[in-house]
Amino acid sequence: MDAVDHGILDILRADSRTSIREVAERLGISRASAYARVKRLVDTKVIRGFTIDVDPAALGLGLPAYVHVRIKQNTWKSFRKKAWALEEAAHVALVAGDFDCVILVRARDAEHLRELVLERIQALPEVVATQTVLVFEEHVGQG
């Protein structure tokens, strides 16, 4: 990867809908070269996909929280599958430290979060303990 490839990534990270023509113009390369480079970045899985950034608050999910979860040994795969099945789960990770997993959840309000953690997550047979951390402010990407 060279400076042009990094430039392409920077442009597409800021707005994945940027046209190949505009990418080429901004980087001073031909459209054919820009197209070929983007295709190569996709084919080699450097670019894993093109997505949209949806404001969770606009969907009524304005209360984010990290739920730290301690699980029983050898239950990660089954727990991960169940955690991802939660519609409120935005990110699920296996981590090192006092807890085994972290789930970023997005809830409507405190009552919704309480129900999610106490009645659904803690009810999973793999779960030994949880700790919930409220998020007061978020900054995603380059902001």
Output the domain CATH number for residue 61.
3.30.70.920
Give, in order, the Cα–Cα distances in Å from 62 to each of 56, 97, 106, 112, 135.
6, 28, 7, 11, 10
CB 80 within 8 A of CB 103: no
Q: Are residues 37 and 74 in the same domain?
A: no
pLDDT in tens, 74-121: 999 999 999 999 999 999 999 999 999 999 999 999 999 999 999 999
Q: Are residues 115 and 75 in the same domain?
A: yes
Helical ranges in the chain per DSSP H: 3-14, 20-27, 31-43, 76-85, 110-114
Which 8-state DSSP code applies to residue 30? -
Which 8-state DSSP code applies to residue 136? S
* List of residues 6+ apart from 38 with CB closer than 8 A: 8, 12, 20, 23, 47
Q: Are residues 62 and 130 in the same domain?
A: yes
Q: Are residues 127 and 63 in the same domain?
A: yes
Q: Are residues 117 and 84 in the same domain?
A: yes
Q: Are residues 70 and 36 in the same domain?
A: no
Residue 51 falls within a domain, yes or no? no
Residue-range definition of the domain harbouring residue 11 = 3-43
Q: Are residues 18 and 82 in the same domain?
A: no
Whole-number pLDDT of residue 141: 65
Residue 48 falls within a domain, yes or no? no
Q: Are residues 102 and 123 in the same domain?
A: yes
Output the domain CATH number for residue 11.
1.10.10
The pTM assigned to this predicted structure is: 0.76
Q: Considering its fold, how many domains does the chain have in total? A: 2
Residue 101 falls within a domain, yes or no? yes
pLDDT in tens, 35-62: 999 999 999 999 999 988 888 888 889 9
pLDDT in tens, 129-141: 999 999 999 887 6
Find where tokens 């390369």 sit: 29
Whole-number pLDDT of residue 86: 96
CB 115 within 8 A of CB 127: no
